[in-house]
Chain A
Amino acid sequence: MKRSRVTLITLLIILFIALWTVRPLVLGGAAVVELASAPALTGQISQALASSGAISNLPIAGKDYNLNHTTYFDNGNWVVTTITGLDETTTSGMAVLKKQGNIYSVVLGPGSAFPSSYVQNLPAGVAQYLNQKGAVYEPVSE
């Protein structure tokens, strides 16, 4: 009786250890990452807002910022959106994103104004839109 109980306890311990180690072993030590659905562009905007510093949390759309006036150009290959920070630490301004593959990535901004030397390299529709919004600066020379 005692021996069978000892065996059972030993088996239980081994199973417990296996319970915590088998999954990482099978998966090669990799973390399984699943990304929840979110409104279009918000994931990429969150990354752009936080990418240049050492951070522990990404800004969250709807909590730290909102996206407004999202406008698409060139058959959806380019998009300009306005970011409104909901707290003091989140940048407000406009961002220009370009579609690569099926993901948009920020190519300009976020910022409140951009030099014409940068904007002139963008598609005409995008540049014109930024000009209309007053987001381009520098005088025009002869």
Chain B
Amino acid sequence: MNPSVNKNTALGRLLAGATVLVAVLLAYNIFSAIHTLHTTGLLNITASDAKATISISQANSEAKIVGKGTARLRLKPGNYLLIAGNAGRKASALVRVSLQRTATTTLKLVPPAVIPSADNIDFTGLDELISNGLTTTQITNLRQLFFEYKRSAKAITIDTSSVQPGPRDPNGTDPTFSLNFTGTIDGAPYKATASYADLTNIQLVLLDPQTDTQLYSGRTASPSPDR
């Protein structure tokens, strides 16, 4: 037989075989896609930040990153936890995916909530209290007591010229020392007495400077011994 004819026949068979194979794969692809269509639901996710990383997890499952800014997912029915985050801001949402239904969710990223603490308050004049006998531990506790009085305070000042030791009976048995001072809390004036009987604990009493009404009393130790 002519070799070129043999070659042509072989090539023809190869092409036919390849065509059948690809056709079978295509059919499998189509049936597989239709099966997925019937066993999943669609979830459209949009984050308010186009650069936000979006992740998804489910109970007793791993978490997976599914996109940046947006994601369009086919998922098995169930509840999912979505989290989007970028540059310190984040958003989360619980979504339910239902069979052959489309769910849409928007994740609006917000800055993290500032945990209230004494660290968020700007104190000025505390050094004068150290100069008058308080330890750094007592100063730390004093800051916390001011914070307990007003958690939303932004700025607390101590008038350094007002710091005076409180009255004390040198012949008495009470070991308590005290410091009296004035200042402002977010601009509002106060009168204060800080009392202490050791190097760690402290009691703070705040008074209205005009009426002498007690505004606050707090301490970090059990009451000082009775006189």
Contact = CB atoms under 8 A, between A and B. Distances in A.
A53 B87 contact: yes
A13 to B, nearest CB: 10
Nearest to B119: A115
Interface string A23-56: 1001111111111111110111011101111111
A58 interface: yes
A86 interface: no
A40 B60 contact: yes
B61 A38 contact: yes
Nearest to B25: A19
Contact of A58 (B65, B89, B149, B217): B65
B72 A52 contact: no
Contact of B51 (A44, A48, A54, A103): A54
Interface residues of B, number: 71
Interface of A: 1, 4-5, 8-9, 11-12, 15-16, 18-19, 22-23, 26-40, 42-44, 46-48, 50-58, 60, 100-105, 114-115, 117-118, 138-139, 141-142
B65 A139 contact: no
A35 B25 CA distance: 26
Interface of B: 8, 11-12, 15-16, 18-19, 22-23, 25-26, 29-30, 32-34, 36-37, 40, 42, 51, 53, 55-67, 71-76, 79-81, 83-90, 92, 94, 96, 112, 115-117, 141, 144-145, 147-149, 151, 216-220
Contact of A18 (B26, B80, B92): B26
A28 B89 CA distance: 31
Given A12-B18, A58-B65, A100-B94, A35 B26 contact: no
Contact of A5 (B12, B60, B81): B12
Contacts of B144: 138-139
Given A1-B8, A51-B83, A139-B141, A43 B30 contact: no
Chain B interface mostly: mixed
Contact of A142 (B81, B151, B217): B217
A33 B36 contact: no
Contact of A27 (B16, B36, B57): B36
A121 to B, nearest CB: 12
B212 to A, nearest CB: 19
Contacts of B117: 115
Contact of A55 (B15, B33, B53, B57): B53
A105 B81 contact: yes
Given A23-B29, A103-B80, 13 more contacts: A12-B19, A15-B19, A27-B33, A32-B36, A32-B73, A32-B74, A47-B57, A50-B55, A51-B55, A51-B85, A58-B64, A105-B94, A115-B115
